[in-house]
Amino acid sequence: MERGEHSLLWTLDRRKRLLARPMCEALYSCRAGVFRVRLTSGREIEVTADQQLSTLDGWTPLSALTAGDRLAVARRVPDPINSHRMADAEVVLLAHMIGDGSCVKRQPIRYASIDEESLAAVSTAARHFGVTAIRDDYPAARVTTLRLPAPYRLTHGKRNPIAAWLDGLGLFGKRSYEKFVPAEVLALQTDQVGLFLRHLWATDGHVSWDARYKTGKLYYASSSRRLIDGVVLLLLRVGVLSRIKRVRKAGYRDGWQLFIYGVENQLRFLRHVGVHGTKDVAAEALINRLELVRRNTNVDTIPKSVWSEVRTAMAEKSMTQREFAAAMNTKFCGAAMWKPSPSRGRLHRAAAILEDRHLHDLATSDVFWDEIVEITSIGHRDVYDLAVDGADNVMVQGIFAHSG
């Protein structure tokens, strides 16, 4: 669950704007059949059949939904109400240790990379803890390893300061497939969220231009689904939407790739976050390519059932379809006008022409309309009810669920 602080949860108001409200209590309800709902973005939520989710038509129980229906999910997440700051050195070191570091028990703390700028960043950040990195070059492995030993003799009750710090964040002893974004990082102010992402992308991030499909390839890869889910939330803090892809390979754990898709999304990430180290060269080259690409507006759209609200507003103004098409500066094509889902920009123009506040709110809301791709029964689970002060819903994994 995404929280700005321990007692605050993100909710959606009537205008579909995010609002932080305090959680009153979480009460055990019962043991019931639970379903996993998976969306096109890869986001998932586990709910009962009678749980209501946010659709364009209002709060709708899962039992009335099917694949192809669209749900409101967060398109951005504001700064937490009680955000905080860490030392920049801690943010940088944490990003690299989560990405390419090793901090398992009874072994030296290590970081491995082929990027000299990343190795330098870790060495510099380690000094914040009084640690001097020791470099080990392994030509056969084509990678350089940094050991991060304690700056003093370890005795009973006295630990490596980096190990103690990682332990406090819940990360010490975690294997790569167990890593996650700590709550302390989720509560950072936006500029430090960007700093974390910039250095995380320097580890297992990918930046390139796909000449075959004439599109940018921008993704982060991990064997930890929990880590990927955390990065999704961090990207929302900088206004970037992403999509999760599962990667399967026989004999190996499932892997996960988190794609940043769409020209606008990719440019926003590259310009406002960027990538540390040698991948920055590829990032700059990708920016130059993307600036020449025509924007595709059919990704960020409103469900096409919104056209019925547009027609109602037209009727109230006694406006014909032909007059509406002319005002929209589009060719009149009869019923075909209502077939495609409108982009946010197109609906915004319609709202202005019709002077309709509700349509304006839909076109400028804080939600993205994601599509259900699969609903799967996962058996019976313990179910809890949340009570949120001053709101009837709560954001869970970026998806809005009714809490009443």
Closest CA to 60 of 390, 398, 393, 338: 393
pTM of the full structure: 0.89
Is residue 162 a part of any domain in this protein? yes
- Which among 230, 259, 290 is the end of a domain? 290
Q: The tokens 């700005």 sit on which residue?
A: 4
Both 240 and 149 in one domain: the answer is no
Closest CA to 86 of 121, 128, 124, 118: 128
String of DSSP letters for 319-332: --HHHHHHHTT---
CATH number of the domain bearing residue 390:
2.170.16.10
Is residue 151 a part of any domain in this protein? yes
Is residue 296 a part of any domain in this protein? no
73 pLDDT band, cuts 50/70/90, is very high
pLDDT at 404: 65
Neighbours of 213 (CB within 10 A): 8
Is residue 83 a part of any domain in this protein? no
Distance CA 234, CA 185 (A): 9
Both 190 and 282 in one domain: the answer is yes
- Which among 290, 316, 349 is the end of a domain? 290
Is residue 299 a part of any domain in this protein? no
Both 348 and 374 in one domain: the answer is no
Is residue 297 a part of any domain in this protein? no
Percent of the chain with pLDDT over 70: 97
Is residue 39 a part of any domain in this protein? yes
CATH number of the domain bearing residue 253:
3.10.28.10
pLDDT digit string, tens, across residues 167-185: 999 999 999 999 999 999 9
Both 370 and 358 in one domain: the answer is no
Distance CA 404, CA 393 (A): 7
Instruction: Considering only CA atoms, give the Rg of the chain.
Output: 24
- Total domain count, the chain: 4
Is residue 111 a part of any domain in this protein? yes
How large is the average pLDDT for residues 255-276?
A: 95
Both 135 and 62 in one domain: the answer is no
pLDDT at 390: 80
Print the domain residue range for 107: 88-177
Both 194 and 280 in one domain: the answer is yes
Residue type, 195: L
- Alpha-carbon torsion angle 26, 29, 34, 40, nearest 10: -30
